[in-house]
């Protein structure tokens, strides 16, 4: 069993380290490949390149796990929506079409994502046996935000007009159920291809009004976690931005691991989040500060979780402007602590 899987399943008192968004953006070797591949979806569907990008941070740094190079928006793509990434706007999806969505069947869906599964197979063969290969999905709520065009562009952070949700409640419930099914298929395929840990990104959970958090965040996450348990694939949830509701989320969803965002106080998390392995928390902006400030920030987390299993990681993905050297120094600091 890989080290991370061991920690998550058996809760052995051991530590581990990897970073969200460790493959991509901030690495010059990624940027080189990216500059030669304008179409991001096509790049994600190039098994050779995707595997190569996945392994880039593993070659450079002393990390315990690899995360497959893909994107959460590969699922809407496989469900028939046109997905495009532009520098100015980030991801842009074509209008959501009910008919196309409801017509999709499992085979068609899996076939479209075959190159992702092939990339996982190729990567697993090249990766040290001790190291986990993490696969991931976007949680239904976060995906729906993109699929319905509610997350429009980079500069338009919030608030998002969610009044549409009330008008479309019955429709959203139905779409969510169907999405959960497809997401489970995607997880199953990734595990069968050789991934051994699952991370669920609910990056926009924090935008949900309180009265919708259970229906749109807790419930769908719980269903997916339950599915992962059947495959004995440990699952790390990341309900970013829900604040104190992390406690209730943890009791309700019962995932093996939970990723903290940077707003969660590590001592609070240590006291409130039980029967779960805690991961992450350090603000990715700390890596843009001086070395000493970065170490100080990291120390807070290492110390808070000293007496328990903890997976060192961030409170969100590594930022594009991060100096790879800083990443190396942070890993070394953590190893020597
Ligand atoms: O233009 C480019 O070069 C593409 C940049 C890029 C990369 C490298 C995007 C576009 N996606 C990815 C890869 C990716 N995305 C990975 C694998 C690499 C790794 O983690 O090491 C993963 C796990 C994701 C997950 C992802 N994609 C999330 C969840 C995590 C998070 O950051 O909150 C989300 C929300 C996305 C959507 C997405 N894809 C890309 C962008 C720019 C965005 C976010 C846009 C937005 O802010 O709405």
The verdict on pTM exceeding 0.85 is yes
Instruction: Report which ligand 1 atom has the smallest distance to the Cα of 201.
Output: 29
- From 53, 72, 148, mutation site for ligand 1 pocket: most ligand atoms within 8 A of C-beta: 72
Instruction: Report which ligand 1 atom has the smallest distance to the Cα of 203.
Output: 33
pLDDT of 158 reads: 55
Q: Report which protein residue has its CA nearest ligand 1's atom 22.
A: 71
* CATH code assigned at 321: 3.20.20.210
* Cα 23 to middle of ligand 1, angstroms: 10
Compute the average pLDDT of residues 158-174: 75
- From 19, 24, 198, mutation site for ligand 1 pocket: most ligand atoms within 8 A of C-beta: 24
* Cα 309 to middle of ligand 1, angstroms: 27
- From 71, 74, 147, mutation site for ligand 1 pocket: most ligand atoms within 8 A of C-beta: 71
Answer whether residue 165 shows pLDDT above 70. Answer: yes
What is the band of 163 on the pLDDT scale with cuts at 50, 70, 90?
A: confident
What is the band of 89 on the pLDDT scale with cuts at 50, 70, 90?
A: confident
* Cα 146 to middle of ligand 1, angstroms: 12
Contact 229, 267 (CB under 8 A): no
pLDDT tens digits for 175-214?
A: 999 999 999 999 999 999 999 999 999 999 999 999 999 9
Domain extent at residue 159: 3-336
* Cα 13 to middle of ligand 1, angstroms: 31
pLDDT of 168 reads: 75
- From 21, 83, 139, mutation site for ligand 1 pocket: most ligand atoms within 8 A of C-beta: 21
Answer whether residue 9 shows pLDDT above 80. Answer: yes
* Cα 70 to middle of ligand 1, angstroms: 8
Arithmetic mean of pLDDT over the chain: 94
* Cα 24 to middle of ligand 1, angstroms: 9
Compute the residue count for the chain: 337
pLDDT tens digits for 217-271?
A: 999 999 999 999 999 899 999 999 999 999 999 999 999 999 999 999 999 999 9
pLDDT of 279 reads: 98
Q: How many domains does the chain have?
A: 1
pLDDT of 87 reads: 81
Compute the average pLDDT of residues 103-125: 97
């Amino acid at each position: 069993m890989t080290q991370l899987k061991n920690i998550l399943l058996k809760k052995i008192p051991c530590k581990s380290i990897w970073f969200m968004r460790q493959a991509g953006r901030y690495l010059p070797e990624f940027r080189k490949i990216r500059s030669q591949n304008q179409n991001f979806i096509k790049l994600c569907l190039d098994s050779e390149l995707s595997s190569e990008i996945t392994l880039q941070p593993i070659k450079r740094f002393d990390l315990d796990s690899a995360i497959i190079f893909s994107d959460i928006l590969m699922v809407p793509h496989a469900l028939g929506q046109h997905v495009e990434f532009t520098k100015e706007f980030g991801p842009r999806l074509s209008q959501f079409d009910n008919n196309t969505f409801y017509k999709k069947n499992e085979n068609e869906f899996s076939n479209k994502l075959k190159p992702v599964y092939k990339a996982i197979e190729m990567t697993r063969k090249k990766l040290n046996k001790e190291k986990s290969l993490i696969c991931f999905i976007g949680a239904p709520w976060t995906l729906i935000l993109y699929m319905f065009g509610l997350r429009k562009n980079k500069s338009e952070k919030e608030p998002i007009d969610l009044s549409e949700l009330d008008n479309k409640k019955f429709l959203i419930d139905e779409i969510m159920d169907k999405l959960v099914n497809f997401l489970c298929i995607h997880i199953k395929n990734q595990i069968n291809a050789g991934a051994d840990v699952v991370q669920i990104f609910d990056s926009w959970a924090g935008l949900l009004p309180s009265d919708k958090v259970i229906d749109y965040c807790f419930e769908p996450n719980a269903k997916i976690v339950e599915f992962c348990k059947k495959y004995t694939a440990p699952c790390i949830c990341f309900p970013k931005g829900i604040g104190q509701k992390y406690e209730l989320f943890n009791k309700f969803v019962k995932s093996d691991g939970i990723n903290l965002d940077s707003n969660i106080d590590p001592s609070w998390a240590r006291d409130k989040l039980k029967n779960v392995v805690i991961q992450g928390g350090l603000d990715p902006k700390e890596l843009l500060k001086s070395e000493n400030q970065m170490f100080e920030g990291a120390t807070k987390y290492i110390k808070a979780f000293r007496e328990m299993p903890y997976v060192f990681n961030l409170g969100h993905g590594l930022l594009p402007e991060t100096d790879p050297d800083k990443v190396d120094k942070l890993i070394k600091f953590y190893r020597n602590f």
